[in-house]
Chains A and B, each alone.
Chain A
């Protein structure tokens, strides 16, 4: 039983990975890493740059 369960879990991960590849999650591994660093909320209030 446990063996069957372990295989099912593993297959689940395999399928999840294959789906993510197919949807293009691995096409660009660089931009998202930079994108998430942008601070979205602050720039609405700022009219003048601080530098």
Chain B
């Protein structure tokens, strides 16, 4: 490999990453790493270079190099059978989830897989879901080969435990589309048939025609009643059984009254009925449903530990390595773990020592040293050379995974219906029934026919159609606006819950601090050469602190390195350019000059036996942290609970004090402690919002009234939660909370608006003068104006707040 130094910024031809001093060139194209070069070679051999024409630098930065056995578990027949969607007569179909898919070039290439391998007959991409469905001849090419092929061109499929255990639930709107189509169809046609009732054509139209139209209207409306409107009846029935008057109850009553009244009018030949209003009503209501049910197909809000864990592990039995799915691990198995792999279940360490990164589980950012026969908890990530472990607990019974056996994960925490509209619906239903009976009672004394007429009119007009539409449209719009700002909510009920929050709980590691870029400072001064040696030494270690140092030092590396020794957990030593360079912990250097009050995250340097000082590596905080805490602190109670050690406690106490926040700060909290803490707050009557990132927050996120998970990469895994926020949008959190509240107020206003319409309608109804014409005008008018109001106002306010 030739090392070239380029001073100007060169971008990798494949992935567009900035090339550092190790770039490789072919012809006139520069690649940042060998991985990118290899992908380019594969593509150019197969005449697939159009890939590069469609978009500039479309490739993916090559991730961890593939080790040979990674996908060998796909050779296992039971695993393959779980994954295959279809397999018959030598033709099979499989769908892979490919998180790295991101542009049109990706689609192009992934649909050209057949050019890379003749036994792949077809591949289709669903870009929104980031899935590719591959049809292949399974006698000639194995599932494993396909996975390896995808990986070799930079699209590694993600296969994990939950894929193997259950098929993805395909949530589609097919049924809703069908119901909507039927209602729309009936609406349009019945409107046409009702026109003769409104405009007096009687000169030209005979009674026969009117009867034909009425019969056609009935024929159109009956399927709408039984198919399209079925959801409202089912939902109100369910609500009534639980003794809850939800919003669907008055809707169902209104629909029924409308239908019965119309049927009665037609049969008694006293009028044309309200069929057009009926169909229109259902059509609008279903539209609202469709609008609110938009969800983010690529994101999963219901992940548990299974999504995090790898699908396969390497088992060693009688010195033979074989790869098996994680679900088949038994107690007593010996497992080989490679660098950066997760420990799948609680185990004992068989190798002499290992460095485990538990930040994933506990939030503790420091690497933990383990020695032979010590216990390793599931969820830790190995950082360093390969180790062997012996499993002592099943995957589902391990320390971490037991969290998911807790009740909170078993039940759905909130009922599906909107709390606000249900609360309103309760009073609304009672009020409507009261008005209907009072006015009916009054007319009863005069004429029972008018009384029945009035009662049914009241029930029809009071049908809270506009009311039911205001929530889907205001919140649905807000949801989209949040989505545009990379704040993804699970559903519209989440917005409503934001409003009631009064206590915000933060996690520290990964939430308030920035994992990728720690702040690095050196205690004294290093010369250029010395920096070069340190960087060279750091390059040879996989320890995270070494990696940080390597990224931090902006010098070249030296090629001349000899006698490299690394003692895991201590440090390393080597001869570079004929100087002895020593890097590592205080105990490794064992030098008099090292201060007593030492921190574990300090990396000390000695060159030729002379102590040079230390690098202090501190987590850096997310930009805007202080101002966010200040804004939120003025309105909400704030708490900080971290799984990390209390090293940074003082810093945060200072920040809290500076911003005038009286908040709780707790360190050394286990995942269970976090959940228990949230539970205690709730018991004290607080409504909590938990913001966290890791698996260690999963319990607290789920327990909390609202759990927001923060993620550097939206498509990467995040724990089960109500909302996912892109880390770059962290500073907008106060704005999001405020906007959610504003949209709540918009809903209230549109409620009032729809009440006004109801009152006008009720005036006609009570006085016994509701004609089908008034109903036909009033109902769509109220619905449309409420929809227009909520849509326009949510957008305007979003623009004003800068979202």
**Do A31 and B127 touch across chains, with their CB atoms under 8 A apart?**
yes
Given the known interface contacts A21-B177, A49-B52, the answer about A30 and B127 at a Cβ–Cβ threshold of 8 Å is yes
Chain B contacts of A34 at CB under 8 A? 104, 107, 127
Given the known interface contacts A18-B178, A18-B181, A50-B53, the answer about A28 and B104 at a Cβ–Cβ threshold of 8 Å is no
With an 8 A cutoff between CB atoms, is A37 at the interface? yes
Q: Give the nearest-CB partner of B111 in chain A.
A: A35
CB distance from A51 to the nearest CB of B (A): 6
**Do B185 and A31 touch across chains, with their CB atoms under 8 A apart?**
no
**Do A47 and B47 touch across chains, with their CB atoms under 8 A apart?**
yes
Bound complex: CA of A46 vs CA of B126, how far in Å? 27
Given the known interface contacts A35-B107, A44-B47, A46-B49, the answer about A28 and B177 at a Cβ–Cβ threshold of 8 Å is no
With an 8 A cutoff between CB atoms, is B764 at the interface? no
**Do B128 and A30 touch across chains, with their CB atoms under 8 A apart?**
yes
**Do B50 and A28 touch across chains, with their CB atoms under 8 A apart?**
no
Chain A contacts of B56 at CB under 8 A? 51
**Do B189 and A10 touch across chains, with their CB atoms under 8 A apart?**
yes
Chain A contacts of B178 at CB under 8 A? 18, 21-22
**Do B104 and A51 touch across chains, with their CB atoms under 8 A apart?**
no
Chain A contacts of B181 at CB under 8 A? 14, 17-18, 21
- Interface of B: prevailing SS: helix
With an 8 A cutoff between CB atoms, is B172 at the interface? yes
Chain A contacts of B127 at CB under 8 A? 28, 30-31, 34
Bound complex: CA of A49 vs CA of B129, how far in Å? 30
Given the known interface contacts A3-B212, A34-B104, A34-B127, the answer about A26 and B53 at a Cβ–Cβ threshold of 8 Å is no
**Do A31 and B128 touch across chains, with their CB atoms under 8 A apart?**
yes
Give me 22 A-to-B residue pairs in the complex whose CB atoms sit less than 8 angstroms apart, sorted by A's number.
A7-B216, A10-B188, A11-B185, A13-B185, A14-B181, A14-B185, A18-B181, A21-B181, A26-B174, A26-B177, A28-B129, A29-B128, A31-B127, A34-B107, A42-B50, A43-B47, A44-B47, A46-B47, A46-B49, A47-B47, A49-B52, A51-B13
With an 8 A cutoff between CB atoms, is B173 at the interface? yes
Q: Give the nearest-CB partner of B181 in chain A.
A: A17
**Do A48 and B182 touch across chains, with their CB atoms under 8 A apart?**
no
Chain B contacts of A31 at CB under 8 A? 107, 125-128
With an 8 A cutoff between CB atoms, is B116 at the interface? no
**Do B49 and A49 touch across chains, with their CB atoms under 8 A apart?**
yes
**Do B174 and A28 touch across chains, with their CB atoms under 8 A apart?**
no
Chain B contacts of A21 at CB under 8 A? 174, 177-178, 181
**Do A27 and B49 touch across chains, with their CB atoms under 8 A apart?**
no
How many A residues have CB within 8 A of the partner chain? 31
With an 8 A cutoff between CB atoms, is B237 at the interface? no
With an 8 A cutoff between CB atoms, is B233 at the interface? no
Q: Give the nearest-CB partner of B106 in chain A.
A: A34
Interface of B toward A, CB cutoff 8 Å: 13, 44, 47-50, 52-54, 56, 104, 107-108, 111, 125-129, 172-174, 177-178, 181-182, 185, 188-189, 212, 216
**Do B50 and A14 touch across chains, with their CB atoms under 8 A apart?**
no
Interface of A toward B, CB cutoff 8 Å: 3, 7, 10-11, 13-14, 17-18, 21-22, 24, 26-31, 34-35, 37-39, 42-44, 46-51
Give the interface centre of A17, A29, A39 by most chain B CB atoms within 10 Å: A17
Number of A-B contacts (CB under 8 A): 76
CB distance from A50 to the nearest CB of B (A): 7
Q: Give the nearest-CB partner of B125 in chain A.
A: A31
CB distance from A34 to the nearest CB of B (A): 5
Chain A contacts of B47 at CB under 8 A? 43-44, 46-47
Bound complex: CA of A28 vs CA of B297, how far in Å? 10
CB distance from B732 to the nearest CB of A (A): 26
Chain A contacts of B126 at CB under 8 A? 27-28, 31
Bound complex: CA of A42 vs CA of B53, how far in Å? 11
Bound complex: CA of A46 vs CA of B129, how far in Å? 31
Bound complex: CA of A30 vs CA of B128, how far in Å? 7
**Do A26 and B173 touch across chains, with their CB atoms under 8 A apart?**
yes
Given the known interface contacts A14-B182, A26-B173, A31-B126, the answer about A48 and B49 at a Cβ–Cβ threshold of 8 Å is yes
In the complex, besides A26-B173, A30-B128, 20 extra interface pairs with C-beta distance below 8 angstroms are A10-B185, A10-B189, A11-B185, A14-B182, A22-B178, A28-B126, A28-B128, A30-B127, A31-B125, A31-B127, A35-B107, A35-B125, A39-B50, A43-B48, A43-B50, A47-B44, A47-B47, A49-B50, A49-B53, A51-B52
| Residue in A17, A38, A47 whose beta carbon sits within 8 Å of that of B108 in the complex | A38
Bound complex: CA of A29 vs CA of B48, how far in Å? 26
Chain B contacts of A30 at CB under 8 A? 127-128
CB distance from A14 to the nearest CB of B (A): 5
Q: Give the nearest-CB partner of A17 in chain B.
A: B181
Chain B contacts of A49 at CB under 8 A? 44, 49-50, 52-53
CB distance from A12 to the nearest CB of B (A): 11
Chain A contacts of B54 at CB under 8 A? 38
Q: Give the nearest-CB partner of B48 in chain A.
A: A43
Q: Give the nearest-CB partner of B52 in chain A.
A: A49
Chain A contacts of B53 at CB under 8 A? 49-51
CB distance from B85 to the nearest CB of A (A): 13
Q: Give the nearest-CB partner of B128 in chain A.
A: A30
CB distance from A1 to the nearest CB of B (A): 11
Chain A contacts of B104 at CB under 8 A? 34, 37-38
**Do B49 and A47 touch across chains, with their CB atoms under 8 A apart?**
yes
Chain A contacts of B50 at CB under 8 A? 39, 42-43, 46, 49
CB distance from A18 to the nearest CB of B (A): 5
Question: 4 closest Cβ contacts across the A-B interface?
Answer: A49-B49, A43-B50, A31-B127, A49-B52
Bound complex: CA of A7 vs CA of B107, how far in Å? 42
Chain A contacts of B216 at CB under 8 A? 3, 7
CB distance from A41 to the nearest CB of B (A): 11
Bound complex: CA of A33 vs CA of B172, how far in Å? 20
CB distance from A39 to the nearest CB of B (A): 8
Bound complex: CA of A10 vs CA of B187, how far in Å? 12
**Do A22 and B174 touch across chains, with their CB atoms under 8 A apart?**
yes
Chain B contacts of A10 at CB under 8 A? 185, 188-189
Q: Give the nearest-CB partner of B127 in chain A.
A: A31
| Residue in B13, B48, B125, B189 whose beta carbon sits within 8 Å of that of A7 in the complex | B189
Chain A contacts of B129 at CB under 8 A? 28
Bound complex: CA of A21 vs CA of B173, how far in Å? 9
Q: Give the nearest-CB partner of A48 in chain B.
A: B49
Q: Give the nearest-CB partner of B173 in chain A.
A: A26
Q: Give the nearest-CB partner of B172 in chain A.
A: A27
Bound complex: CA of A22 vs CA of B44, how far in Å? 40
Bound complex: CA of A46 vs CA of B212, how far in Å? 67
Bound complex: CA of A38 vs CA of B111, how far in Å? 11
Chain B contacts of A50 at CB under 8 A? 53
CB distance from A21 to the nearest CB of B (A): 5
Chain B contacts of A24 at CB under 8 A? 174
Q: Give the nearest-CB partner of B220 in chain A.
A: A7
Q: Give the nearest-CB partner of A43 in chain B.
A: B50
Chain A contacts of B52 at CB under 8 A? 49, 51
Q: Give the nearest-CB partner of A45 in chain B.
A: B47
CB distance from B18 to the nearest CB of A (A): 18
CB distance from A31 to the nearest CB of B (A): 4
Bound complex: CA of A24 vs CA of B111, how far in Å? 19
